[in-house]
Amino acid sequence: MIESTFSARDAPQNLVIDVSKDPAPRVVSSIWVMLAVSTVFLFLRVYCKKIRCRGMWVDDYLLIASWILLLVSNVLISELMRLGLGRTTVFVAHMHTLTAANGSINKVALALSKTSFAATLLRVSSGCRSALVWILMVSMNVLLAAGAVTAWKPACDRPADTYEAILPGKCWSVRDSVIMAMVSNGYSALVDFVLALLPWHVVWNLDMKRHEKVGVAVAMSLGIIAGLVGVVKVVKIATLAEHNDIPYRLSLLFIWGQAEPNVTIVASSIPVLRVLFQEICSSSPSQSTYLKSDARSTFPASIGMATLEEGRQIEEASRKRVLQAMGPSNGSDPRAREREAEIGYGAMDEITQGTHHLAPRASGDTSIGR
CB atoms closer than 10 angstroms to residue 236: 17
Same domain, 189 and 337: no
Q: Is 257 helix (H, G, I), strand (E, B) or coil?
A: helix
Quote the pLDDT of residue 140.
93
Is residue 358 situated within a structural domain? no
Same domain, 193 and 329: no
Boundary residue ending a domain (244, 268, 292): 268
Same domain, 60 and 130: yes
State the pTM of this model: 0.72
Same domain, 309 and 260: no
Is residue 50 situated within a structural domain? yes
Question: What's the pLDDT tens digit per position in 33-66?
Answer: 999 999 999 998 888 777 665 677 888 899 999 9
- The CATH number given to whatever domain includes residue 38 is 1.20.1070
More confident residue, 247 or 365: 247
> Using CA atoms, how far apart are residues 13 and 9, in angstroms rounded to an integer?
8
Is residue 2 situated within a structural domain? no
Is residue 281 situated within a structural domain? no
Cβ–Cβ under 8 Å, residues 114 and 192: yes
Phi (first) and psi of residue 140, to 5 degrees: -65, -45
Question: What's the pLDDT tens digit per position in 298-339?
Answer: 445 454 555 556 655 666 655 555 555 555 555 445 555 555
Same domain, 216 and 311: no
Quote the pLDDT of residue 343.
46
Phi (first) and psi of residue 155, to 5 degrees: -90, 125
Per the structure, the count of domains in the chain is: 2
**Average pLDDT over every residue of 75-84:** 92
Same domain, 230 and 330: no
Supply the range of the domain harboring residue 305. Answer: 301-352
Question: What's the pLDDT tens digit per position in 241-282?
Answer: 677 777 788 888 999 999 999 999 998 888 777 766 666 665
